[in-house]
Structure 1
């Protein structure tokens, strides 16, 4: 039975797409067939991390949502681009063209088509796992991606605005009866106590923390030009990505 993992944050800038790409790669490397859908249509970007250049993208999620193609026509196999030694990794990107983004913001789309597309994608690619890189905040689109997932991974930074916004997102997830919710705390200053922070977050929200990532100049230096855990497999952050992936697989 294919499993759906939604990666979400209440605010932008939390590192959501980086986390999604690294988890997708870490899961695929264990021999699984993994799909990633970029539903952040107003501000897409995960294609950069997964090595897919805009000039090589002809069909996108936008194309499918506007009835211009089948969902499988917007799929790109990035396994070879990333030189994966095992497993398969597929991406459905959103359009980065300014007029396409303007159109989606102005006219919207039928959210039911998004749900149908997820189902078709899982079936036609014979996926083991589908990861959804959501648009931050709360909208009818994110309500859907939260509602249909088996595991919701909420990312927050140790910041008061993130704490408050994440409480709202968690409340929505509970109202939608999401089966399993976990947190990832990202961009933690290295001089903070990780153990104390984990305990505080888990006590405050009553949700387990699946991973904790320090604010890293190495991530910043990579500048979204590749999947960190593939380029630097021995780095402590890469070890944490793999640990979160294992935690997810164990939950599922």
Structure 2
């Protein structure tokens, strides 16, 4: 039974997509069958992070939602050491989002697509990277997940937004929620950032991750976990995996 984990944030710029991509890579390299679905049709990022090239050369989630293909036709198989790694990019070209805005789509197709991917690919883990804030794709992804990891920066503004997000996930019935504090600025002790988050939410965060400029430099060329496998930040990503999978489940 696949474990479904949604990565979400209240605002953009939290590093949510980068964390999701690196976690997918590391989970697969540990021997699992993992798929990452980029559900952020408005602002897709996963294909850039994995450096898959021109997204116009393949099918996408948007193509599936508007009836151009089956969801499995949008799957890209990526190299992995040990397991299997698959990517479903959000959209291949601007026309995909234009058609979705103009025509809409049956939101039930998204959940059906998640279920079909887990079955057809025989997945151990399905990671869902969402759009920041709230839209149809985000609500479906969160409602489909066994665990929702809310990614926030450590500033008071973002922490307040994360609180709204956690309330939103509760309303959608997400059974398990966890907090990841990311991009802690230089000079701010990680312990202090974690205590601030714990005071705001009443529980310690799953991880407190420092700002790492090399993450941005690697994007689009090589995934950070591939380019810097021995970096302390990659070690932090690895340490998150057991807790996420222990909490995970299929809705």
8 A Cα contact 2:59 2:92, kept in partner: no
Question: Tell me, what secondary structure is at the counterpart of 1:135?
Answer: coil
What runs of 5+ residues in structure 1 fail to find an aligned partner?
Answer: none
What runs of 5+ residues in structure 2 fail to find an aligned partner?
Answer: none
Q: Quote the residue 1:52 is aligned against.
A: 52
Question: Tell me, what secondary structure is at the counterpart of 2:208?
Answer: strand
User: What root-mean-square deviation, in Å, do the aligned CA atoms of Structure 1 and Structure 2 show?
Assistant: 1.5
Whole-angstrom distance in 2 between the partners of 1:106 and 1:198: 43
Deviates more, 1:156-165 or 1:228-237: 156-165
User: Residue by residue, what CA displacement relative to the aligned partner does 1:101-140 show, whole Å, maximum 9, x if unpaired?
Assistant: 2222333321100000000010000000000010110123
Whole-angstrom distance in 2 between the partners of 1:108 and 1:16: 26
Question: Tell me, what secondary structure is at the counterpart of 2:82?
Answer: coil
8 A Cα contact 1:72 1:121, kept in partner: yes
Is 1:32 aligned to 2:28, yes or no?
A: no
Is 1:177 aligned to 2:173, yes or no?
A: yes
TM-score, normalising length from structure 1?
0.93
8 A Cα contact 2:184 2:193, kept in partner: no
Whole-angstrom distance in 1 between the partners of 2:153 and 2:35: 26
Q: Quote the residue 1:74 is aligned against.
A: 74
Is 1:151 aligned to 2:126, yes or no?
A: no
Q: Quote the residue 1:16 is aligned against.
A: 16
Is 1:250 aligned to 2:246, yes or no?
A: yes
Whole-angstrom distance in 1 between the partners of 2:2 and 2:184: 33
Whole-angstrom distance in 2 between the partners of 1:233 and 1:56: 30
Q: Quote the residue 1:87 is aligned against.
A: 83
TM-score, normalising length from structure 2?
0.94
User: Residue by residue, what CA displacement relative to the aligned partner does 1:196-233 show, whole Å, maximum 9, x if unpaired?
Assistant: 22122122112441112111121122234221112111
Q: Indicate how the Cα distance of structure 1 residues 12 and 107 shifts in structure 2: closer, same or farther if over 3 A, else same.
A: farther
Whole-angstrom distance in 1 between the partners of 2:221 and 2:107: 31
Aligned residue pair count:
248
Question: Tell me, what secondary structure is at the counterpart of 1:40?
Answer: coil
